[in-house]
A = this chain, B = another copy of it.
Amino acid sequence: MSEERRLEVLRAIVEDYVQTREPVGSRVLTERHGLGVSPATIRNDMAALEEAGYIAQPHTSAGRIPTDKGYRLFVDRLAEVRPLSAPQKRAIETFLSEGVDLDDVLVRASRLTAQLTGQVAVVQYPSLRLSGLRHLELVPLGDQRLLIVVITDTGRVEQRFLDAGAGIAGSSDGVVLDDATLGELRARLNAAAAGKRLSQLSGAFARVVEAVAPELRHIVRSVADLVVETLGEEKEERIVLAGTANLARADMRFEQGLSPVLEALEEQVVLLGLLTEMAADGVAVRIGHENRLDGLAETSVVASGYGTDGDTVAILGSVGPTRMDYPGTIAAVRAVARYLSRVLPG
């Protein structure tokens, strides 16, 4: 009863089950996969695999299906890399590079992933916390409001309104921000902040605050606070979904129904937490109960970071039933993540 063959049996079970969605018995196993031994032998191996927790029987007289643990072993040790076909690669590249701006590119990436995997794609916007500041713009809107536009080196453009009440002209010092003053502030802030990460912004801004005329300090501080806040806010982390309709396809029965799955996907904050947790080199896989969310107990998540020059600035993933085509999904996610990294604004 060689250890090797046992693993081979597990692989066969996973591959067969993924394809047929039926519990697989010892007979078909010998027939459909070239194992070269008799069903009885397989049965012994299966008993051992079941004992070890890699497979299970739905009911007494049925075949075996892989457990989460079984899939895990499969993914870690048995899955063979299956590179995409050249035409597929070209299609990805073309489709992504046609995006006109960040929103567009990310939407395209999510659709693409959903289509390649036949599952639900999840794409996180480049995290503001991991982005550097490229440019800061101050736009006066009447006397009462200031529009602050923050452009990151990851291509995100965020804007915030700063109300008079929050410190423009409203405070007792009654400073009027003419164009020249504004231009100077803009230049100073940009000089101080250009290329810096959020963690370095506070300090840089503090020095600007000290450098400007005293009557401007208040407003500069307001602007600085707002920018730091904008770049740090959890709720500004955004997510794009695509392919939810795939969940409802006939071949995707979930024991618990798809309500819990859809609910989990709507909880952007929680979903984001899961993705963030999965950040790792290359592609990460969470199988079934491994991801803590109850709603996703019957699903697996395959995710990969993406970002310019090796810097991961966000995560992209695919969510499907634990019974999924892992090699294919992993290949697709990795490919999209790579091309996405390449297409992103350098």
Chain A interface residues toward B at CB < 8 A: 101, 134-135, 137, 139, 141, 147, 149, 151, 157, 159-161, 179, 183, 242-245, 247-250, 257-259, 262-263, 265-266
* Cα distance, A270 to B258, chains bound together (Å): 25
Partner of A141, one of B101, B134, B266: B134
Report the minimum CB–CB distance from A183 to chain B (whole Å): 7
* Cα distance, A101 to B263, chains bound together (Å): 25
Interface-centre pick from A141, A160, A242, A262 (highest chain B CB count, 10 A) = A262
Chain B residues whose CB sits within 8 angstroms of the CB of A265 once the complex forms: 245
A135 near B157 with CB under 8 A, answer no
Chain B residues whose CB sits within 8 angstroms of the CB of A151 once the complex forms: 139, 141, 147
Nearest B residue to A161 via CB reads B101
A159 near B161 with CB under 8 A, answer no
* Cα distance, A243 to B265, chains bound together (Å): 11
A248 near B244 with CB under 8 A, answer no
Known: A135-B147, A137-B149, A160-B101. A266 touches B248 (CB 8 A): no
Report the minimum CB–CB distance from A47 to chain B (whole Å): 38
Nearest B residue to A179 via CB reads B183
**Can you list 5 A-B pairs, Cβ within 8 angstroms, ordered by A?**
A134-B141, A137-B147, A147-B151, A245-B266, A248-B262
Report the minimum CB–CB distance from A91 to chain B (whole Å): 20
A244 near B259 with CB under 8 A, answer no
B135 near A137 with CB under 8 A, answer no
B262 near A244 with CB under 8 A, answer yes
Chain B residues whose CB sits within 8 angstroms of the CB of A249 once the complex forms: 259
* Cα distance, A296 to B149, chains bound together (Å): 40
Report the minimum CB–CB distance from A345 to chain B (whole Å): 9
Nearest B residue to A180 via CB reads B183
Known: A149-B137, A149-B149. A262 touches B250 (CB 8 A): no
Report the minimum CB–CB distance from A342 to chain B (whole Å): 18
Known: A137-B149, A141-B134, A160-B101. A248 touches B257 (CB 8 A): yes
